[in-house]
């Protein structure tokens, strides 16, 4: 079974940027799962899943609820329909990675159905990949929903704020309460930390792996809709994320 990784953090800390830059260096085959309704990960990777004719998980579940949708599947049991549609319509494939997106919920109600679907699919699907990297929503929602209960490493991206510091203990407590098993909780400082505030992270309850360096080109690429995978290898942000992955013991692709 491949390594399962969750990238999380408060909104605006840069967790999706970290995920995108990690995608640049993690060994293939690599599966990305975006369970953040903002769907920012695809944009940061230069992917337009709609143009690629790829559906989100919530898209197929919504269509299955509509009378007359997928009539061609006939009397196939609902679980088999969902599994078939997921595998044929929800996986974006490229030479660098495969991507699955939870999507945006357009109807009332909770995320129970898509979360249950992902809970059943992630363990099976991840067996075919060296790494499965999950870009999670801001806060603790993904842990509370227990989308996946077996995780190798959690990368928690922090900003220099008290709320971000308190989030470390909250994640540890909630993971214990809902039965999520993980091997390592790694702390990552975003570029807003200076030398003094970075020292406060080193002494916290978690393994501190370093800081994502500032690079103005990250914002420029985002605004232009360019993939962060196109950042040159001498990018300070890209290089810092590569070093963080090496410190975590991952096999990274050569530059």
Domain membership of residue 237 (yes or no) is no
Mean pLDDT for 25-49 is 91
Closest CA to 13 of 52, 46, 40: 40
Residue bearing the bigger pLDDT, 70 or 67: 70
| pLDDT for the residue numbered 122 | 75
Q: Would you say residue 176 lies in a domain?
A: yes
Read off the pLDDT of residues 178-226 as tens digits, 9 standing for 90 and up: 778 889 999 999 999 999 999 989 877 669 999 999 999 999 999 999 9
Please say whether the beta carbons of 40 and 74 come within 8 A: no
pLDDT of residue 58: 86
Instruction: State how far the Cα of 91 lies from the Cα of 33, in Å rounded to an integer.
Output: 10
pLDDT of residue 113: 60
In the beta sheet, which residues pair with residue 98?
31, 93
Query: 9 by DSSP, 3-state: which?
Result: strand
Q: State both tokens at 24.
A: 């640049």
User: What was the pLDDT predicted at 78?
Assistant: 78
**Distance (Å, whole) CA 67 – CA 63:** 8
pLDDT class for 75, splitting at 50, 70, 90?
Answer: confident
pLDDT by residue (tens digit) across 224-247?
Answer: 999 999 999 999 999 999 999 999
Does the pLDDT of residue 250 top 90, yes or no?
yes
Q: Using CA of residue 214, residue 236, residue 9, residue 50, what is the dihedral sign?
A: positive
- At residue 115, the pLDDT reads 61
Task: Count Cβ atoms below 10 Å from residue 227 Cβ, excluding itself.
Answer: 17
CATH code of the domain covering residue 133: 3.40.50.300
List the one residue out of 67, 121, 65, 68 whose CA is nearest residue 90: 121
pLDDT of residue 175: 81
Sequence-distant (6+) residues with CB within 8 A of 133 are 5, 7, 19, 22, 23, 26, 30, 31, 32, 33
Closest by CA position to 168, among listed 202, 211, 204: 204
Question: Is 22 a domain residue?
Answer: no
Residue 1: its pLDDT value, please?
65
Q: What is the mean pLDDT of residues 61-81?
A: 80
Can you give the pTM of this predicted structure?
0.90
Q: How does pLDDT run across 50-59, given as a tens digit for each residue?
A: 999 999 988 8
**What is the structure's pLDDT at 123?**
78
Residue 156 pLDDT > 90, yes or no?
Answer: yes
pLDDT over threshold 70, residue 146: no
Q: Is 152 within a domain?
A: yes
Residue 7 lies in a domain: yes
User: Which structural domain range is residue 11 located in?
Assistant: 3-16+27-211
Assess if residue 196 is contained within a domain: yes
Identify the residue whose tokens are 């309850």.
205
Please tell me which residue, 69 or 129, carries the higher pLDDT value. 129
Looking at the structure of the chain, the number of domains it has is 1
Which pLDDT band holds residue 141 (cuts at 50, 70, 90)?
low
In order of 156, 173, 217, 218, the CA distances from 236 in angstroms are 20, 34, 10, 10
In a domain, 41, yes or no: yes
Helix and strand numbers, DSSP H then E, in the chain: 10, 8
Average pLDDT, the chain: 87
Tell me what pLDDT residue 32 has. 96
Q: Give the pLDDT confidence score for residue 83 in this predicted structure.
A: 85
């Amino acid at each position: 079974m491949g390594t399962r990784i969750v990238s999380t953090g408060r909104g605006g800390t840069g967790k999706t940027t970290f995920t995108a830059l990690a995608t640049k260096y993690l060994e293939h085959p690599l599966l990305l799962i975006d369970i953040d309704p903002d769907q920012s990960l695809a944009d940061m990777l230069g992917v337009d899943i709609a143009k690629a004719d790829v559906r989100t998980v919530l898209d197929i579940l919504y269509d299955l609820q509509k009378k007359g949708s997928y009539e061609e599947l006939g009397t196939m049991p609902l679980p088999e329909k969902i599994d078939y549609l997921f595998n044929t319509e929800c996986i974006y494939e490229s030479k660098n990675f495969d991507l699955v997106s939870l999507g945006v919920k357009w109807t009332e109600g909770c995320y129970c159905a898509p979360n249950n679907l992902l809970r059943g699919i992630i363990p099976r699907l991840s067996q075919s990949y060296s790494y499965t990297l999950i870009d999670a929503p801001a806060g603790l929602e993904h842990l509370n929903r227990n989308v996946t209960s077996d995780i190798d490493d959690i990368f928690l991206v922090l900003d220099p704020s008290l709320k971000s510091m308190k989030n470390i203990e909250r994640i540890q407590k909630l993971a214990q309460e809902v039965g999520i098993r993980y091997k390592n909780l790694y702390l990552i400082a975003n570029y807003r930390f200076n030398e003094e505030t970075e020292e406060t992270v080193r002494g916290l309850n978690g393994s501190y792996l370093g800081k994502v360096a500032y690079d103005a080109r990250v914002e420029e690429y985002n605004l232009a809709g360019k993939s962060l995978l196109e950042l040159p290898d001498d990018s300070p942000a890209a290089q810092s994320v590569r070093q963080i992955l090496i410190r975590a013991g991952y096999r990274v692709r050569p530059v």
